[in-house]
């Protein structure tokens, strides 16, 4: 076999395309340098002139964007069904990645950093144009690799717990409307599935669920009292418009104290281990609304003693009667001071 000496490394190698690149201008039809030296020289040149090359490459791509796109489509169609080419290309890509892993990853990081907005926009556009295909592929991929995906996600979460939690909280805070719309859409489209899943979950976790409910009810008596008041008001077809913020404002108006006797909420929590009650000025049984026009803060004792009694008959004879507190209650609720059984809201 005929041999050739490399012009750079001076090693004698077989004169074939495996060791030397072709060059028709040479007498023997091969380049002077061997392929190893040529690759080394090209890499060194690239490293020395990296910025200039990348800048020129960007400019060229901008100037010939349409031509590159058209050529890419034609080339892709040409090799699309060429199984032999695909196999060779795959082998070459794997080998090239293994040999140049660090450079490829570094370049990728740098490119993503410099083109963050472009990549995000391109991704959005692609997902929008191919949403059905992506959805179908994702479902199929998840079904085929459910266990591996689940295991990988768990492992990642455990290794990056703080970062993942912070990122998720931030995303939810910035996408409240999107999440709400998605949840509503899912609930509408999967009503029976959600109901069946809830029933099955309750069946499988009945004891824990009941224990949790009992404890929650014990720890939050005011919340359940509020639910009861709302339910009874709705049953009697009375307005139930009182909001949490309105209740906070009402308590602040009365200095976070019982409107009848003046006991503060802190004292109430110490004595009764619960917050002040939402007391109906006109009782539910007398068509009293569950609104900011009819609710005032009250301690357990005053609430139990008043019950469904008329304010003007009960409060003046009450042991904790106070003229200033009486005036404040009536001024706040907008009632007249006439001593009548049926009062009109102003």
For residue 253, the Cα-to-chain-centroid distance in whole angstroms is 37
Is pLDDT of 21 > 50?
Answer: yes
Q: Three-state SS for 4?
A: strand
Q: How confident is the model at residue 345 (pLDDT cuts 50, 70, 90)?
A: very low
- Between the CA atoms of 135, 141, 144 and 145, what dihedral angle is there, to the nearest 10 degrees? -130
Query: Which residues are CB-contacts of 51 (< 8 A; sequence separation ≥ 6)?
Result: none
- Per-residue pLDDT of 172-202, as tens digits, reads 999 999 999 999 999 999 999 999 999 998 8
Angle, helices 191-204/206-219, rounded to nearest 10 degrees: 90
Does position 339 have pLDDT exceeding 60, yes or no? no
pLDDT of res. 341: 39
- Reported as a pLDDT band with limits 50, 70 and 90, residue 267 is very high
Residue 338 has pLDDT above 60, yes or no: no
Block residue for tokens 């949403």: 131
Band (322; pLDDT cuts 50, 70, 90) = very high
The CB-based long-range contact list for 161-170 (8 Å cut-off, 24+ gap) reads none
Average pLDDT over residues 274-289: 88
pLDDT at 336 over 70: no
Is the pLDDT at 222 greater than 80? The verdict is: no
Query: ∠ at Cα 28 (26, 34), nearest 5°?
Result: 80
Report the number of secondary-structure helices (H) and strands (E) in the chain: 18, 6
- Render 227-257 in DSSP notation, one character per residue: HHHHHHHHHTT------HHHHHHHHHHTTTB
pLDDT at 346: 34
Structure tokens at 100: 């140049």
Give the pLDDT score at 71.
80
Task: Answer whether 267's CB lies under 8 Å from 315's CB.
Answer: no
User: Taking 50 as the threshold, does the pLDDT of residue 251 lie above it?
Assistant: yes
pLDDT band at 342 (very low <50, low <70, confident <90, very high): very low
Q: Is the pLDDT of residue 131 over 80?
A: yes
**pTM for this model (two decimals):** 0.41
Q: Within 10 A of 258 (CB to CB), how many other CB atoms are there?
A: 25
The pLDDT value recorded for residue 211 is 87
**How does the average pLDDT of the chain come out, rounded?**
87
Q: What is the mean pLDDT of residues 333-344?
A: 55
Tokens of 340: 């009548």
Q: What is the pLDDT of residue 257?
A: 95
Q: For 109-118, what is the mean pLDDT?
A: 91
31 within 8 A of 5, measured Cβ to Cβ: no
Q: Which residue has the higher pLDDT, 1 or 43?
A: 43
């Amino acid at each position: 076999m005929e041999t050739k000496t490399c012009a750079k490394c001076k090693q004698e190698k077989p004169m074939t395309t495996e060791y030397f690149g072709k060059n028709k201008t040479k007498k023997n039809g091969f380049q002077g340098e061997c392929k190893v030296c040529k690759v080394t020289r090209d890499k060194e040149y690239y490293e020395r002139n990296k910025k200039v090359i990348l800048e020129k490459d960007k400019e060229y791509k901008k100037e010939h964007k349409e031509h590159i796109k058209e050529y890419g489509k034609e080339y892709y169609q040409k090799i699309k069904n060429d199984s032999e080419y695909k196999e060779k290309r795959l082998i070459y890509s794997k080998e090239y990645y293994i040999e140049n892993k660090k450079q490829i990853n570094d370049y990728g990081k740098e490119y993503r950093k410099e083109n963050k907005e472009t990549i995000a926009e391109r991704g959005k556009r692609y997902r929008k144009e191919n949403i059905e295909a992506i959805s179908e592929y994702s479902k199929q991929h998840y079904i085929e690799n459910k266990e591996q995906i689940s295991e990988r996600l768990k492992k990642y979460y455990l290794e990056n717990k703080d970062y993942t939690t912070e990122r998720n909280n931030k995303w939810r805070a910035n996408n409240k409307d999107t999440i709400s719309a998605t949840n509503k859409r899912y609930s509408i489209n999967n009503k029976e599935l959600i109901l069946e899943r809830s029933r099955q979950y309750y069946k499988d976790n009945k004891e824990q669920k009941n224990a949790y409910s009992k404890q929650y009810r014990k720890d939050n008596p005011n919340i359940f009292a509020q639910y009861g008041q709302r339910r009874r008001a709705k049953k009697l077809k009375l307005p139930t418009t009182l909001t949490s913020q309105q209740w906070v404002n009402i308590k602040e108006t009365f200095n976070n104290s019982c409107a009848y006797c003046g006991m503060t909420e802190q004292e109430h929590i110490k004595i009764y281990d619960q917050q002040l009650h939402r007391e109906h000025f006109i009782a539910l049984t007398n068509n009293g609304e569950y609104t900011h026009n009819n609710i005032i803060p009250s301690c357990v004792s005053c609430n139990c003693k008043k019950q469904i009694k008329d304010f003007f008959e009960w409060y003046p004879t009450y042991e904790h009667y106070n003229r200033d507190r009486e005036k404040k209650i009536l001024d706040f609720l907008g009632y007249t001071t006439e001593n009548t059984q049926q009062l009109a809201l102003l």
